[in-house]
Amino acid sequence: MEVEYLPFKFGTVTGDFWCRENNLTSLKGAPSKVEGIFDCQLNNLSSLKGAPIKVGSFWCNRNKLTSLEGAPKKVERSFWCNNNNLTSLKGAPKEVGGVFRCGLNKLTSLKGAPKKVGVFRCELNKLTSLKGAPEKVGVFRCELNKLTSLKGAPEKVRRDFWCDKNKLRSLEGAPKEVGGNFYCRDNPKSFTVDEVKAVSKVGKNIYVKVY
């Protein structure tokens, strides 16, 4: 049976807590601590007020969120908020140990994004700038936005960097160092491998063509 609210006040959950695919409009009554996954996907949430303070992973994708206010400040593993109505990342966790997904929203800015994250994915938004991007990141993906340059990108990406399918005409602001692969395909300007090498030290391969 689908419910519109949590009928009990929960405390600490040592495993996972699943309340997905209901008609929840509020997280009032949610556990204060979830050691595993807190999954509230596919509801009608417009706010995260009442969310757990501490979690292993937090999944709130496919709701009606316009803000991340109320989200946990630190998430040990993954935080998913993709497929919502977010125009800002204000209120997002400051640190995410694994994957942070905020794709398929209406973001025009990354202000409020986590400062430290394992994998940061912001594809399919309306970004024209990467200002506010994480300072420390393992993988960074910003494909399918409206970027004309890479201003604001992290200075160092430990593994892979993706900026395919934007409106790039300049590599200004590109990471100074990418430990893995650099993907920069299908943009209005066809960049060369040498142009990428001129702005970024890349540890593995550079992909600048569409196959």
Return d(Cα 122, Cα 54) in angstroms, integer. Answer: 24
Alpha-carbon distances, residue 61 vs 16, 44, 58, 82, 169 (angstroms):
17, 11, 9, 5, 32
Residues 6 or more apart whose CB falls under 8 angstroms from that of 86 comprise: 65, 66, 67, 68, 102, 105, 106, 107
- Confidence class of residue 211 from pLDDT cuts 50, 70 and 90? low
Query: What does the angle CA 137 – CA 139 – CA 145 come to, to the nearest 5 degrees?
Result: 105
Could you tell me the sign of the dihedral formed by the alpha carbons of 87, 148, 163, 173, in that order? negative
This prediction's pTM: 0.96
- Confidence class of residue 5 from pLDDT cuts 50, 70 and 90? confident
pLDDT in tens, 163-190: 999 999 999 999 999 999 999 999 999 9
pLDDT in tens, 112-132: 999 999 999 999 999 999 999
